[in-house]
Structure 1
Amino acid sequence: MPEISRFLGIIIFMYFDEHNPPHFHVKYNEYKAVVEIQSLNILAGHLPGKVRGLVEEWAELHQKELLEMWNTKDFHKVKPLV
């Protein structure tokens, strides 16, 4: 499970052989969620409102890159939200 970004206590990662739709996983303290890349909707789990907003902001900035990583399985670090 490659960690692709970490910021403000939020950890974002993807698994190598995952099912569709394209998504990433988020962990923040005791919270976990699965976020669809294209819609940025939470598919499973829960995040506090402020954290969800930060994750959405980050994902919007890197949406194309995230989809490319999903499709190629060429995972790399993505700039954190600053």
Structure 2
Amino acid sequence: MTNQEPTTPSFEQAMDQLERIVAQLESGDVPLEQAIELFQEGMKLSQLCGQKLEQVERKIEVLLEQDGGMVKKPFQPVE
């Protein structure tokens, strides 16, 4: 028997899980206790996705900084 830590889902996997949770909660057919658990899981997935996006943003900034003396600029999403 091995004690393995649960693997962290990829960004795409976390987003898929989050979308399924939101759909379940929006359906309104979930008992209150299960809805609370789903909400908590959704919040964790949301935080995970946010952290992964921040990591990618920092990597992009570093790459820009290293590439030919380009000026480091914070990532600005297009609205």
Structure ranking higher in helix proportion = 2
TM-score if structure 2 supplies the norm length? 0.31
TM-score if structure 1 supplies the norm length? 0.31
Asked which structure has the greater CA Rg, the reply is 2
